[in-house]
A = this chain, B = another copy of it.
Amino acid sequence: MAIRPAEQLIHKAAWLYYAHGLRQDQVASQLNISRASVAMYLRKARETGIVNISTSTQLFTDDVLARKLEDALKLDAVWIAPENDYVLDPSTDIAVLAASVFLELVKKGDRIGVAWGRTVYTIADIMSYADLQDVTVVQLCGNLGAPYSYRPDQCTMEIARRLNAKGLNFYAPLVLTTELLAHGLRAEPVIREQLANISNCDLALYSVGTVDADCHVVKCGALSAGEMTLLRELGAAGVIAGQIIDAAGKALDCSYNRRVISASLSSLRQIEKRLMVVQEDSKFEPLLAALAGGLCTHLVVGASMARRLLDHAGASAGAKKAS
């Protein structure tokens, strides 16, 4: 192995600056380079993850609203991203928070299941680097050949890369044309093994999808808008790991679900920590469905969604009491 002077220098600069607390000009004279170069190296160090800066997310769990939601929804932990007027896109806030939360939840040696979607990919994209030994990131559901940049395998690999973990991909289409074919494919050893191992995960990361005519699964071509309309009439309430669930959080009894290659809801429920992240307020009903189905133990949402959830929980509790 040839030594990489650049990386060597970056590392030395980062070490002296962050671990030793030297100033940049001191680092510069130590390494016989200009201070400007030191500044550049330090930026690279931050970008490449040679140094990690992480902040505690305690603030967001200590929120009164978060506590109330934990109680109301019987969740292990809830984080609420505050609404900030200075940020253009509140959903970014949620993703940033989710990334931090995710990193806090990951432990050495964990096996992590990752689903797919814009939310998950956004989280992966802003997640800071870490090096967690023996962590394995597994893909929870099949792929779609769609021209989307956030394919399941990409989400998995990107997160694995950021954590310096092992990525375990799973190359099957998310949905097949016939149930028979899906059944056969699920029986394939390489697929079966992957699916069987999902319940051994320690942590899952997913969002929930809507069931609109222009929702994610439709855009990806897994379903046509017409089929989706039909499914909604049958009770479709949300999408979890590529599967349609009803308002109770159960897998909808439909041909589509039977043609999907993905982690079963029951295996997902066996994962100890199920981190659900919801960015858009429009996902209220799908989220309720996922919560009803016990598909979530840890939740990251925005403040407005949190309030809606709490109102809803309060209202239904009140209704129950009244009845």
Contact = CB atoms under 8 A, between A and B. Distances in A.
A11 B56 contact: yes
Interface in A56-84: 56-60, 62-64, 67, 71, 79, 82, 84
Interface in A1-58: 1-3, 5, 8, 11-12, 14-15, 18-20, 22, 26, 30, 45, 49-58
Given A12-B59, A15-B59, A3 B97 contact: yes
A22 B15 CA distance: 24
A57 B131 CA distance: 7
A86 interface: yes
Contacts of A5: 104
Given A3-B79, A53-B51, A8 B96 contact: no
Nearest to A64: B15
A67 B20 CA distance: 10
A20 B96 contact: yes
A49 B60 CA distance: 11
Interface residues of A, number: 49
B131 A59 contact: yes
Contacts of A97: 3, 19
9 contacts: A2-B62, A3-B100, A5-B104, A8-B62, A49-B59, A51-B55, A52-B55, A56-B129, A56-B131
Q: Give 6 nearest A-B pairs by CB, closest first.
A: A11-B59, A58-B131, A15-B67, A59-B131, A11-B63, A51-B55
